[in-house]
């Protein structure tokens, strides 16, 4: 969530910055750990956007915890320091590599719609609600999945109790963290709607004012909530007092009458909370350059869409391609994969999602032949039929990509035993619904706005319409890559709404194909094409010479100041780990290891 004032995206500048930052010792008087975008060492590693959160994970590793324990500890701390991007009022997707069995497992911790929700959830008088009206309302709030994800992960693969791994986050909430420019600016961008809700304003606008940069921000309500979770377990949310408070807040949003805001009520019940399950499921898997690429399966479209795009690129030698050829192929592969995502991917409990077929090389080859080196496909590209692939053909009607909020957060963790976690968690857009549960210290999600409000084309089935207990489609794509022997090569992920898919794809191809060091693959200027007329470019590409050369082929671009905020870990020889995070995006990330290498 933390963003820079100025941005430098050249890879050469980034590499130089990494050397200088990595060599600098943190100021002795500073209580918050210094942000360092790359770290190498032993005993395990954690990378996130926030130094306090990464330190929480490292603290757990130092005490003998494993990667799962560290991931939950880091996630809980992010709920304190990155409250507009994550927290126990939201959900996410957890990908875990077990070193002993050399297998990958996943948890779908996506929020669910109320059991009373129909396809008309966001219709009013027969017409779709304005997006802003839907967001800051009880209608947008899904049953939280994050606490269930933590309990499931710890119960299956962790070595520490929930109470134990919540202690660092509880301490940060109680004692506070230092406000920076980004926390203040993110608060400022939400100030108007935060004032609609007195409990949100009281917490995040102390004394009625924006938090002051350099001040200490404390959240005693959240500290008490974490302490309650530690004592009672997550049952207090799904079957107890905390859940009752969430239900009351969703169904009767505590809005300031003087604001004039129509905070439409939701229809969440104790039955919805009691019925919630974090789903253990198989990962998506595709082979790329002889490596195994594992990610999350639907309800997220991340694994299928990244996997299909990689399969489309499989027969192009990106290591020898020029910069123009590389970006052209990357953009076109993304365009085609998003066309198929829009038609085929939804919650598999409700939709017949052809996951296996979308990830088949045969289907990717049938779609790859649409791509030409001297021309650009016209968006929106129509989807293909993965069950009946036909070379260079497409069928049906194209659907535009629905909007997803971009301020999710991602963390990666590894331990001394070789276990790895790639975990993306979210409350959807910056500040979620804007509604704080009174006395509880956290904001509720607005994830249900990830559903289509109405069919993009009434003549075509939309797999992402709301439904009772349904999970909205996501683009989250936490990914782990294994070598031919089943050992981890790299794990990556990013926030960014629908741009998550293109960010993960670009980081993977930059690292695996273009030979960039992981921190440089993360820092490289990004492009994002999501089956739209224009491709988004960060300034490092938009203001450079490559743009004109790509426009000569037929590409059309628009500027996006910042795309994603990735983190990753890489396994090195001899038991070493490399952790990498952003150098400048969101103010830079924090990579830490247990025992730094000399």
- Confidence label for 6 from pLDDT (cuts 50, 70 and 90): very low
Tell me what the mean pLDDT of segment 426-441 comes to: 96
Task: State yes or no: pLDDT of 569 exceeds 80.
Answer: yes
Report how far residue 552's alpha carbon sits from residue 538's, in angstroms, rounded to the nearest whole number: 19
Supply the residues annotated as catalytic: 408
How high does pLDDT run on average in the chain? Answer: 92
Task: State yes or no: pLDDT of 4 exceeds 60.
Answer: no
Give tens-digit pLDDT for 191-202: 999 999 999 999
Report how far residue 68's alpha carbon sits from residue 60's, in angstroms, rounded to the nearest whole number: 10
Task: State yes or no: pLDDT of 459 exceeds 60.
Answer: yes
Give tens-digit pLDDT for 84-106: 999 999 999 999 999 999 999 99
The DSSP symbol for 432 reads T
What percentage of residues in the chain have a pLDDT greater than 90?
88
498, 471, 493: which is closest to 425 by C-alpha?
493
- The token duo for 154 is 């710890």
Element (H, E) at 150: helix 146-157
Element (H, E) at 493: strand 488-493
Task: State yes or no: pLDDT of 120 exceeds 60.
Answer: yes
Report how far residue 570's alpha carbon sits from residue 577's, in angstroms, rounded to the nearest whole number: 6
* 131-170: burial string, b at 16+ Cβ within 10 Å, e else: eebbbbbbbbbbbbbbbbbbbbbbeebbbbebebbbbbbb
- Cβ atoms 122, 132 nearer than 8 A: no
- The token duo for 561 is 């100041």
Q: Tell me what pLDDT residue 302 has.
A: 98
- Confidence label for 399 from pLDDT (cuts 50, 70 and 90): low
Q: Is 294 helix (H, G, I), strand (E, B) or coil?
A: strand
Element (H, E) at 95: strand 91-98
Report how far residue 100's alpha carbon sits from residue 78's, in angstroms, rounded to the nearest whole number: 29
Q: Tell me what pLDDT residue 18 has.
A: 34
Q: CB-based contacts of 260: which residues, under 8 Å, 6+ apart?
A: none
- Cβ atoms 281, 108 nearer than 8 A: yes
Task: State yes or no: pLDDT of 25 exceeds 60.
Answer: no
Q: Is 57 helix (H, G, I), strand (E, B) or coil?
A: helix
Go through the domains of the chain in sequence order and give each one's CATH number: 11-44+64-280+403-596 (3.60.20.40)
């Amino acid at each position: 969530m933390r963003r820079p004032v100025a941005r430098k995206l050249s890879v050469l500048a980034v590499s130089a910055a990494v050397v200088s930052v990595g060599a600098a010792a943190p100021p002795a008087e500073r209580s918050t750990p210094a942000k360092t975008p790359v770290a190498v060492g032993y005993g395990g590693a954690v990378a996130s956007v926030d130094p306090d959160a990464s330190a929480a994970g490292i603290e757990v590793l130092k005490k003998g915890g494993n990667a799962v324990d560290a991931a939950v500890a880091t996630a809980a701390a992010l709920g304190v320091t990155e409250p507009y991007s994550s927290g126990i009022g939201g959900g996410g997707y957890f990908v875990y590599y077990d070193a002993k069995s050399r297998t990958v497992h996943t948890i779908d911790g996506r929020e669910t719609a109320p059991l009373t929700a129909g396809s008309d959830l966001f219709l009013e008088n027969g017409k779709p609600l304005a997006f802003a009206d839907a967001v800051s309302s009880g209608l947008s709030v899904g049953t939280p999945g994050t606490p269930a994800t933590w309990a499931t992960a710890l119960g299956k693969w962790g070595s520490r109790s929930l109470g134990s791994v919540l202690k660092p986050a509880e301490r940060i909430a109680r004692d506070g963290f230092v406000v920076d420019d980004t926390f203040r600016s993110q608060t400022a961008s939400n100030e108007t709607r935060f004032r609609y809700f007195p409990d949100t304003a009281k917490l995040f606008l102390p004394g009625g004012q924006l938090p002051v940069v350099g001040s200490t921000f404390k959240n005693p309500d959240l500290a008490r909530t974490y302490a309650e979770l530690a004592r009672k377990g997550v049952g207090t949310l799904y079957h107890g007092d905390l859940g009752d408070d969430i239900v009351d807040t969703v169904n009767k949003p505590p809005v300031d009458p003087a604001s004039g805001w129509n905070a439409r009520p939701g229809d969440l019940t104790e039955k919805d909370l009691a019925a919630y399950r974090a789903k253990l499921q198989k990962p998506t898997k595709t082979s790329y350059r002889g490596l195994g690429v594992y990610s999350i399966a639907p309800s997220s479209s991340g694994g299928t869409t990244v996997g299909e795009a990689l399969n489309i690129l499989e027969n192009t030698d990106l290591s020898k391609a020029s910069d123009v050829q590389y970006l052209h192929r990357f953009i076109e592969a993304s365009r085609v994969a998003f066309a198929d995502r829009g038609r085929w991917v939804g919650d598999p409990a409700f939709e017949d999602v052809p996951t296996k077929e979308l990830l088949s090389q045969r289907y990717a080859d049938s779609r790859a032949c649409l791509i030409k080196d001297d021309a650009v496909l016209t968006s929106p590209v129509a989807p293909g039929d993965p069950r009946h692939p036909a070379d260079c053909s497409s069928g049906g009607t194209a659907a535009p990509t629905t909007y997803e909020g971009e301020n999710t957060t991602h963390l990666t963790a590894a331990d001394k035993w070789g276990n790895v976690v790639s975990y993306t968690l979210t409350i959807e857009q910056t500040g979620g619904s804007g509604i704080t549960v009174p006395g509880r210290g956290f904001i509720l999600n607005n994830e249900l706005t990830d559903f289509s409000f109405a069919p993009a084309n009434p003549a075509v089935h939309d797999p992402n319409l709301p439904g009772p207990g349904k999970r909205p489609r996501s683009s989250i794509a936490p990914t782990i890559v294994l070598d031919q022997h089943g050992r981890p090569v790299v794990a990556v992920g990013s926030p960014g709404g629908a741009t998550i898919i293109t960010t993960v794809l670009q980081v993977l191809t930059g690292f695996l194909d273009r030979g960039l060091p992981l921190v440089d693959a993360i820092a490289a200027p990004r492009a994002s094409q999501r089956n739209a007329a224009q491709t988004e470019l960060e300034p490092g590409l938009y203001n450079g010479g490559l743009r004109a050369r790509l426009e000569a082929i037929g590409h059309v671009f628009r500027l996006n100041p910042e795309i994603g905020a990735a983190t990753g870990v890489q396994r090195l020889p001899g038991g070493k780990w490399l952790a990498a995070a952003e150098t400048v995006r969101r103010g830079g990330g924090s990579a830490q290891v247990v025992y730094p290498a000399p």
